[in-house]
Structure 1
């Protein structure tokens, strides 16, 4: 039997308190609580001693998280791991600790707290709060930039394999991952198509964290430093834009897409991997991410019609949309 929906008043209150859970989750991730529970449950006192924390405060945070299914409290007052809490460990497959640290850092939290200003003015307060636009801030603040790129890699690792397997790359010879970060998605693509060669294209400080060599793919993938606002490596069959266009305004997106259009071989493809906002009131991860974009960046999540418009302005045509097991879709475009 499905549980009954919350009373309307309770729904509003629960939503209003939502940031408390985010803060508690961030604290547990930053302190490394889950790593200290890998060998079994511990009392708040023992945990606090190991973490250099206050036992009473730690207990209260873990009690809240246990009520949400992150950690569990036994009859002796000891806290242990749940399957969700296990993902907060730092050295396990599928770890989301870096993702949590990214999503809950101040550069997202602070502008979202001033969302009313954005709705009134249509402008993010990010520049005012941090003194410069989002990606300029990441480039100038080493700690924030490292947290962001590690977090994005962690978050992307959840989806990269299933997205790469949703598209047949085998007919192609060369793929460019535009703004490909540390290469997590490109690794999955190259592993799925043994004859394919790749180009990981990003800024130099980002490529320093590349995982291509550690994946054993250095002989099939080159690293190219550049700025996709200016140009992209020429002569590829496929240009991948994964979680790129949603960061930018329509005008900027058209410029990026046009650069890909100008660079690709005859018969080439551009693959935009982003959420596609569906019609209706149903929950969708893209709707949450869209409001994050609204608060922090000039970009947005888009509908199918909005993608069609962008492609047309860049000399491309939407050829098909391929769903994936994730909240993202592969939107394929060809030259007009």
Structure 2
């Protein structure tokens, strides 16, 4: 195919895109991956270099647009239009600065420039107003990137040793603090809200939930005592996973137990009354109320911790399990080969904040075996998407 014909076809699709409901999720994910491959083929080295070294500009523009009130101001007018002077008047920002920021945001596709210094909302712009949770996620990731940019300096200082001390890693170096990240969050309420919101969005955006492709019912071969836990969600945040699990399997016997730190449990606003809230740190032994469960579920918990802390977490769960218990780890595992860029970027976020890692499948097997588990199977959804992750099923080693 001639390049001119390909360009023509692409422009035709852009000008007349299919309706959102006409494209399946599998097709959408595959198309995005194909576009990425196409760009890699046609980019010249200078294109690649320019794209990478100027990558911070988009996130800076996004954050300024959020924190200055530009997105809120534009969201308030719906399908209308505003000049940059009008936006400046409503936000209190300087007109020239607003003009410069909105040009950047328009170049990113967030606003439409309908005339000189006059803009309308693009389809995504309202998603960055205060009515959406996305601004909180932006704050969390931009803060993580403040640490990320210091990693080369940190690694040079440590003679390029792999960060493995969660109390003395890139985060402490970049932020000039002795606090571990989670302890630091307790001193920064706005950042704590941003972190918890991001975790909620991540769990909602993982595509097909784990219990849709994991055979929950068939794994319950022996009758479950209604007084015993059916599932313990370890570090389960505000309970979205357990709420949805209960809605899917309301008839299954056994108790549903949600564990997390006191500040998280106290922040829960909506939770099915059948779900028990337990204040607990997974770095401590499991409480009696959570022992002998059929399933112990950890959703993207271990990637926040170096191996030493992961072994502590796993040992406490191992000691709470019985011979019929199953450990389920939902994790953003990095494939042993041919890892995608998004997966590797998440690994560097873990390095930045926690001196931790998004492990490969092989590394998970070694970690589990070191604490007395056998890895039974690695499950994944039929339609994989960035962030879908894997579900690791493990049981106790039998003597």
Is TM (by shorter chain) over 0.5? yes
Q: What's the CA shift for 1:279?
A: 4.0
Q: Does the residue aligned with 1:131 lie in a helix, a strand or coil? A: coil
Q: Do the aligned partners of residues 51 and 186 (structure 1) sit closer, same or farther apart at CA in structure 2, a change above 3 Å counting?
A: farther
Q: What's the CA shift for 1:226?
A: 1.2
TM-score normalised per structure 2: 0.75
Q: Does the residue aligned with 1:295 lie in a helix, a strand or coil? A: helix
Unmatched segments (≥5 aa) in structure 1: none
Q: What's the CA shift for 1:30?
A: 2.6
Q: Which residues in structure 2 correspond to 1:150-299 (within 5 Å)?
A: 150-159=197-206, 162-170=209-217, 174-196=230-252, 197-213=255-271, 217-218=272-273, 220-232=274-286, 233-281=290-338, 283-299=340-356
Q: Do the aligned partners of residues 249 and 238 (structure 1) sit closer, same or farther apart at CA in structure 2, a change above 3 Å counting?
A: same
Match of 1:55 among 95, 111, 123: 95
Q: Does the residue aligned with 1:42 lie in a helix, a strand or coil? A: strand
Which position in structure 1 is the counterpart of 2:134?
Answer: 96
Q: Do the aligned partners of residues 164 and 26 (structure 1) sit closer, same or farther apart at CA in structure 2, a change above 3 Å counting?
A: farther
Q: Do the aligned partners of residues 164 and 32 (structure 1) sit closer, same or farther apart at CA in structure 2, a change above 3 Å counting?
A: farther
TM-score normalised per structure 1: 0.88
Q: What's the CA shift for 1:131?
A: 3.0
Q: Does the residue aligned with 1:294 lie in a helix, a strand or coil? A: helix
Deviations 1:168-202 (A, max 9, x none): 43455621111111222222222221135421101
**Maintained 8 Å contact 1:161/1:185:** no
Which position in structure 1 is the counterpart of 2:55?
Answer: 18
**Maintained 8 Å contact 1:164/1:188:** no
Q: State the superposition RMSD in angstroms.
A: 2.3
Separation in 2, partners of 1:179, 1:15 = 35
**Maintained 8 Å contact 2:298/2:330:** yes
> Is 1:303 aligned to 2:348, yes or no?
no
Which position in structure 1 is the counterpart of 2:20?
Answer: none
Separation in 1, partners of 2:214, 2:69 = 37
Count of residue pairs the alignment pairs up: 328
**Maintained 8 Å contact 1:187/1:212:** no
Separation in 2, partners of 1:32, 1:185 = 33
> Is 1:147 aligned to 2:194, yes or no?
yes
Unmatched segments (≥5 aa) in structure 2: 1-5, 7-37, 164-168, 225-229
Separation in 2, partners of 1:117, 1:31 = 31
Q: Does the residue aligned with 1:240 lie in a helix, a strand or coil? A: strand
Separation in 2, partners of 1:224, 1:257 = 18
Deviations 1:109-137 (A, max 9, x none): 33212111333323423224233121111
Match of 2:46 among 4, 9, 13: 9
**Maintained 8 Å contact 2:110/2:124:** yes
State which drifts further: 294-303 or 63-72.
63-72
**Maintained 8 Å contact 2:261/2:279:** yes
Q: Do the aligned partners of residues 265 and 317 (structure 1) sit closer, same or farther apart at CA in structure 2, a change above 3 Å counting?
A: same
Q: What's the CA shift for 1:32?
A: 4.2
Greater Rg over alpha carbons, structure = 2
Q: Does the residue aligned with 1:299 lie in a helix, a strand or coil? A: coil
Which position in structure 2 is the counterpart of 1:117?
Answer: 153
Q: Does the residue aligned with 1:175 lie in a helix, a strand or coil? A: strand
Separation in 1, partners of 2:59, 2:380 = 29
Separation in 1, partners of 2:62, 2:211 = 30
Q: Do the aligned partners of residues 50 and 166 (structure 1) sit closer, same or farther apart at CA in structure 2, a change above 3 Å counting?
A: farther
Separation in 2, partners of 1:170, 1:42 = 56
Q: Does the residue aligned with 1:210 lie in a helix, a strand or coil? A: coil
Q: Does the residue aligned with 1:201 lie in a helix, a strand or coil? A: strand
